Structure 1
C-alpha cells in the first residue's frame, strides 16, 4: 500500500508545502510560486490594514485573506467579526479572480453583512465604502463568465 505522506508543520498540523500562485492555487511541486504569507503573525490593526492593502493592490487577495485571518484569530473578541468579514471579502475577490463568480458573490455579500455591523469603521477602515464595493462587485459577478482582475478590482480599505 503506497500512501502519500502529508506535509506537516512543527506541531504536526497538515500544511501543504506545494508552491502556490498569486491567487493561492497549488502549483506542481518544483514550480516557482509566490512566497506565502507566514501564518500566526500578530500585527497591530494598522499593520494588518497596510499589509492587506499592499497585497490587494498587488492582485493577491488570497494572501490578504491570510493577513486578515491572523487578525481575527489574534485580535480582541469585539473585533473578530470585523476581521473575519474582511477576510471573506478578500476570499470573495479570490474566487471571482479564479472564475468562481457565484461563490465569489456569495462570499462578498456574506463579508459585507458581517462588517456592516461596524458602522463607525474602527482603525480608519472605510466600512461603508467596503460594503458598497462588495455589493456592487457581487452584482456585477451575477452571470459573468469571465474572471475578474483582482488588482483592478481591489478595494480601498481606509477611506
Structure 2
C-alpha cells in the first residue's frame, strides 16, 4: 500500500484534488471550491440554513454533505428524512452534470424517502420536519425527474434549487 495516499484522521482515503461547485474533481493545482468539512454536527435549523445556502449557490454536491452529516449525527428516527434530502441534492448534482439517468433515479429515490414525512406521518418519534416544506420538495423532485430523464433543457443547479422551507 502506498503510504503517500491522502487519508483523513480516521485513515479513510480522500482526494486532495480540488473540486468544482458540482463536486467534480479538477486538475491538481487548479483553483476549486472550498470543500465542505465532514462530520460537522449542526442543529436541524443550522443544517437547513447551510444546505439552503449551498443549494442557492449552485452547489448541491456540497449541500448533500451537510444533509449526510445530519443523517449520521442526528436521531435515528430523523435519518430517513436527512438521507432522502441528501439523495435529492445528489440527484440535482447529477442532473446538473448531465447524468440524466442517475439524476432522475436519485431525485425519485429521494422523493420516495421523504414522502413519508410529507403529511407529518413519519415515524412516531420524528414527525418534525424542521420547518421544511416536505410536500413541496416531493413535488419539486417528482416534476424535475422526468424532465431530466427526457433530456429536456440543461439543469442549472442554482436556478432550479428547491426551497427547503417553501417560498420565501
Alpha-carbon distance in 1 for matches of 2:96, 2:33: 16
Counterparts of 1:1-159 in structure 2, within 5 Å, are 5-118=4-117, 119-120=119-120, 122-144=129-151, 147-159=154-166
- SS state at 1:24 partner: coil
- SS state at 1:93 partner: helix
Alpha-carbon distance in 1 for matches of 2:51, 2:152: 27
TM-score (structure 2 length as normaliser): 0.90
**More moved, 141-150 vs 99-108:** 141-150
Coordinate RMSD, CA, aligned: 1.6
| Cα drift, residue 143 of structure 1 | 2.1
| Cα drift, residue 29 of structure 1 | 0.6
Alpha-carbon distance in 2 for matches of 1:113, 1:9: 33
Which segments of 5 or more consecutive residues in structure 1 lack a partner in the other structure?
none
**More moved, 138-147 vs 112-121:** 138-147
| Cα drift, residue 122 of structure 1 | 1.4
Q: Deviations over 1:97-121 (max 9, x none)?
A: 0000111000000000000011226
Maintained 8 Å contact 1:59/1:151: yes
| Cα drift, residue 80 of structure 1 | 0.2
Runs (4+) of structure 1 moved beyond 4 Å? none
Which segments of 5 or more consecutive residues in structure 2 lack a partner in the other structure?
121-127
| Cα drift, residue 90 of structure 1 | 0.2
- SS state at 1:122 partner: coil
